[in-house]
Amino acid sequence: MTLPTIKALAISEEITVAPRKRWFHHAKGRQAVLVNVLLSLGAITMLVPFLWMVLTSLKSPAELAQFPPTVLPQEWMWSNYAATLDAAPFGLYFRNSLVIATTHTLITIALGAMAGYALARIYFRGREAIFLAFIAMLMIPTYTKIVPQFLLVKFMPLFGGNDILGQGGSGWLDTWWALIIPGGLSASAIFLFRQFYLSLPKDLEEAARIDGLGEFRIFAQIYTPLIKPAIATVGLLTFQESWNNFLWPLLVTTSSDLRVIQVGLAVFQQLDNTQWQYLMAGTTMATVPMVVLFIFAQKYFIQGFTNAGIK
Amino acid sequence: MEVKSRMRRTASVAMVALMGLGLAACSAGEADADLNPDEVSGEISLLTPIFEGSPGQDLLEDELLPQFYEEYPNVTVNVDYTTYGNLNEKLTTAVVSGLVPDVMLMGVGWIEAFADKGVLADLGELGLNEADLKESYTDEIVEAGMWDGNVYAVPIMLDTRFGVARMDILKEAGYDSPPSSWEELIEIAEATTVRSSNGSLERAGFDMMSLDARQAFETMLFSAGGALFNEDATAPAFNSDEGVAALGLMADLVNKYEVEDIGFTSTDDIVNPLINGRAAMGIAHNNLWTQALEADETVLDNLEPFVIQGDASGMFFGGTLATVANNSKNPQAARALLEFLSSPDAALAANEQRGNVPALTELLDSDYVQSNRFVQFAMENLEVAQREGGPSQWLEVRGDFAPAVQAALLGQKSAEEALDDLAALVQTSIDR
């Protein structure tokens, strides 16, 4: 066998590479390659931790102990998922998380949209001051609100054995009220809705009034259908935040029946020993609803933008 | 010599057993005298950072509580499970709202803060006193449950930190036993450290970074003969000569002797480096035994625990203690539950479930302790074990230790500067 000469190689390279070179030198082509490379890098960066989580959830403790670590499990331990589900009543926790996150999302969309609409489109005295108060609320760290919020819940009058002054009982503690009401609406949701309502033209409102529509119908039938992107965004963010909430459900509940999935996952993380395979299996299962929801919400998100653009 | 040693050991075990029996009888007697099970009644709540997870919950609800209800049929216990990671938040919000659980399990170093705030009941008033407890627990462990001269907590389980050596690696390097002094520790650590040709670390000679930096420092501090605070816990003592020497040694092990690099291991590692051979020696938690049992049983024969020996013997202990709320509406029922949870059978079951070290000296003879070499080692050396904590501000300041230790390890500050700065911070908190 003879080796190809340098000249022959050069000719063959010219033949095969030349068209690609031309394409590459094209400005749009270069830009597309760059964008694709960057997007691929971004996608890989996002995907690697997720893949690592799934692969870790399928390894045995012995394999997790190996150094250097393996990438793919030598033995695929699907039983880790069954063991994780056996470790705690995850079905119950999952249901609780779903109920709380769905209720938070519905409350936030319904009340947040109304509040955002009122702040954006109804003129009343003190409107700007109220809006500034909402902005100020965005700046208060969650942790500083925990104790006051806890006290509000504990001293809720006429609940949990409390009298009219909120004394004597446990208020809303260890009830669905405590899990749902305090997190039902956020200042950030109202802020987002306000900004979207502000961006809509005033002509629609005037035309609707000429047609005899009342304020609520203008809100519900004219403006709100135009802010589907806002609804999708706020809904997704609210659901995600509520689904991932850990500290508040832990603090206000004492019975296992009211615990949520994030609190349930904590059982695998003891002070000096973490059962990584179970923690990752549980986390993978807890992630699935969010991923599914995002896929669906993304679709409506884009549709909403398209509709808004057409109108 | 061997016979003598065996006789001494048998005698000591017999003594411990007798003391244990004596205390058990005493406790039971007192309980019987003070608490008539039929007259003790009420609904009480229990907040627990142990027993979480399915096996723990099953143990508590299916085995232990039914035994308790058998003895105290008129008491109902509502359990609130949490983890140590979130116990402080649970306790703090409970205290602020006034809804303090009747029985609370909490850690060593935590009692001072909650006793000082008046949250905890003085157990002396409920019939449990220091002298009785010291008959069945090591003095230092009883003192972990005391504040201002009064008993506020009874220990259930301990978790300890001590030195562990991989004897297969040490033997390869020509050493037959773990180090018995700081000098030997440095020598063996240097001899067992492995670096690749480009200088990157492949095996640490002595690992100090796969456990909390504060606890690593405390273990070394105790081995230097130092203490965290002065006797009445009104001033820091960790910046003494002993403290400076301990942190100086830790910094030297990294920067001068180069037996470990910063970031080579961390507390978030999936497995302890002693299990997979990334470290030849290290400071480890006693549950390393159960971790190794799960991950790689073959390594168990090579794991050798040792007390880190400087001018003193360095061993650290934390643990879980049972307390009663000062404002409990059913203090007798709460006391009954506390006594039950700290009784030998219940405490042994809880320790076995978590792979921890029983606080009760009499449990040294139990099958569980005898079958777990690290737990056995810990119990045999509890006399030299020291705890963290001291002032009521401990929970506020303990988070400041790790940054100070890390500053010294990174060479940003000398050991003396790091500890003096930390001491100033801690003193401000104490004086506040």
Taking the CA atoms of chain A, what radius of gyration do you get in angstroms? 27
What backbone torsions phi and psi does residue B130 show, to the nearest 5 degrees? -60, -45
Closest CA in chain A for residue B215: A272
The whole-number pLDDT of residue A168 equals 87
> For the purposes of burial, counting CB atoms within 10 Å of the CB of A68, is it exposed (0-12), middle (13-18) or buried (19 or more)?
exposed
Given an 8 Å threshold on Cβ–Cβ distance, is A151 in contact with B97?
A: yes
CA A284/CA A290 separation, integer angstroms: 10
Cβ of A194 under 8 Å from any chain B Cβ?
A: no
Judging contacts by C-beta atoms under 8 Å, the chain B residues touching residue A152 are none
A-chain residues within 8 Å CB-CB of B53? 87-88, 267-268, 270
pLDDT tens-digit readout, A70-97: 899 999 999 999 999 888 888 899 999 9
Residues 6+ away with beta carbon under 8 Å from B360: B20, B136, B137, B155, B342, B344, B347, B348
**Residues of chain B neighbouring A254 (CB-CB closer than 8 A):** 45, 78, 80
For residue B45, what is the nearest residue in chain A, using CA coordinates? A254
pLDDT confidence of residue B372: 94
Pick from B52, B55, B90: CB nearest A251: B90
Pairs of CB atoms within 8 A across A/B? 94
Q: Verify whether the Cβ–Cβ distance B97 to A173 is below 8 Å.
A: yes
Q: Does A124 touch chain B (CB under 8 A)?
A: no
Tokens 């394999």 identify what position?
A63
A144 in contact with B at a CB cutoff of 8 Å? no
Q: State residue B299's pLDDT score.
A: 94
B89 has a chain A CB within 8 A of its CB: yes
- Residues of chain A with Cβ-Cβ distance to B96 below 8 Å are 147, 150-151
Question: How distant is the Cα of A251 from the closest Cα of chain B, in angstroms?
Answer: 6
Residues of B with CB below 8 A from A175's CB? none
Asked if A222 contacts A213 with a C-beta cutoff of 8 angstroms, the reply is yes
For residues A3 and A123, which has the higher predicted lDDT (pLDDT)? A123
Tens place of pLDDT per residue across chain B (432 aa): 344 444 444 444 343 333 343 334 334 334 444 678 888 999 999 999 988 777 788 899 999 999 999 999 999 999 998 888 888 888 988 888 888 999 999 999 999 999 999 999 999 988 888 999 999 999 999 999 999 999 999 999 999 999 999 999 999 999 999 999 999 999 999 999 999 999 999 999 999 999 999 999 999 999 999 999 999 999 999 999 999 999 999 999 999 999 999 999 998 888 899 999 999 999 999 999 999 998 889 999 999 999 999 999 999 999 999 999 999 999 999 999 999 999 999 999 999 988 899 999 999 999 999 999 999 999 999 999 999 999 999 999 999 999 999 999 999 999 999 999 999 999 999 998
Q: CA–CA distance from A129 to each of A119, A122, A135, A295, B317 (Å)?
A: 10, 14, 10, 38, 56
Provide the H-helix boundaries in A122-186: 127-138, 142-154, 176-180
Question: Are A269 and B90 in contact (CB < 8 Å)?
Answer: no
Q: Which one of B86, B271, B354 has the shortest CB-CB distance to A64?
A: B271
Nearest chain A CA: its distance from B404 CA (Å): 22
Considering only CB atoms, B89 lies closest to which of A56, A247, A271, namely: A247
State pTM to two decimals: 0.81
CB contact under 8 A, B295 and A64: yes
pLDDT digits (tens, 9 = 90+) for A153-191: 999 999 989 999 999 888 999 999 999 999 888 899 999
Is B86's CB within 8 Å of A247's CB?
Answer: yes
A256: contact with B, CB 8 A cutoff: yes
Look at A276 and B80 and tell me if their CB atoms are within 8 Å. Answer: no
Residues B390 and B304: their CA atoms lie apart, in Å, by: 31
Would the pLDDT of A29 be above 90? no
Which of B99, B105, B159, B202 should one mutate to test binding to chain A, selecting the residue with the greatest count of A CBs within 10 A?
Answer: B99
The 3-state secondary structure of chain B, one letter per residue: CHHHHHHHHHHHHHHHHHHHHHHHHHHHHHHHHHCCCCCCCEEEEEEECCCCHHHHHHHHHHHHHHHHHHHCCCEEEEEEECCHHHHHHHHHHHHHHCCCCCEEEEECCCHHHHHHCCCECCCCCCCCCHHHHHHHCCHHHHHCCEECCEECCEEEEEEEEEEEEEHHHHHHCCCCCCCCCHHHHHHHHHHHCEECCCCCEEEECCECCCCCHHHHHHHHHHHCCCCCECCCCCCECCCCHHHHHHHHHHHHHHHCCCCCCCCCCCCCCCCCCCCCCCECEEEEECCHHHHHHHHCHHHHHHEEEECEECCCEEEEEEEEEEEEECCCCCHHHHHHHHHHHCCHHHHHHHHHHHCCEECCHHHHHCHHHHHCHHHHHHHHCHHHEEECCCCCCHHHHHHHHHHHHHHHHCCCCCHHHHHHHHHHHHHHHHHC
With tokens 């002693």, the residue in question is: B274
Task: With CB atoms and an 8 Å threshold, state whether A251 touches B89.
Answer: yes
Residues 6+ apart with CB under 8 A from B288: B164, B272, B274, B275, B303, B374
Check residue B187 and give its pLDDT: 98
Yes or no, beta carbons of B84 and A67 under 8 Å apart: no
Question: Is the distance from CB of B385 to CB of B138 less than 8 angstroms?
Answer: yes
Could B86 and A266 be called an inter-chain contact, meaning their C-beta atoms sit closer than 8 Å?
Answer: yes
Residue A92 forms contact with B (CB below 8 Å): no
B277 touching A, CB under 8 A?
Answer: yes
What are the chain A neighbours of B85 within 8 Å (beta carbons)? 266, 269, 271
Q: Residue A121 pLDDT more than 70?
A: yes
User: Structure tokens of A73?
Assistant: 């499990």
Cross-chain Cβ contact B96/A151 below 8 Å: yes
Interface probe, candidates B51, B52, B79, B91, chain A, greatest A C-beta count within 10 A: B52
Residue A290 at interface with chain B, using a CB cutoff of 8 Å = no
Contact of B45 with chain A, judged by CB distance below 8 Å, is answered with yes
Mean confidence (pLDDT) of chain A? 85
- Give CA–CA dist B226/B203, Å, rounded: 30
- The per-residue pLDDT for B26 is 39
Contact B54 A170 (CB under 8 A): no
Which residue out of A272, A274, A277 would a mutagenesis test of the B interface target, given it has the greatest number of B Cβ atoms within 10 Å?
Answer: A272
What is the ipTM score, two decimals? 0.75
Pairing mode, if any, of strands B103-107 and B42-48?
Answer: parallel
Q: What is the least distance, in Å, from the CA of B247 to any CA of chain A?
A: 23
| Interface test mutation site (partner A, options B50, B83, B275, max chain A beta carbons within 10 A) | B83
CA torsion angle A211 A217 A218 A224 (round to 10): -140
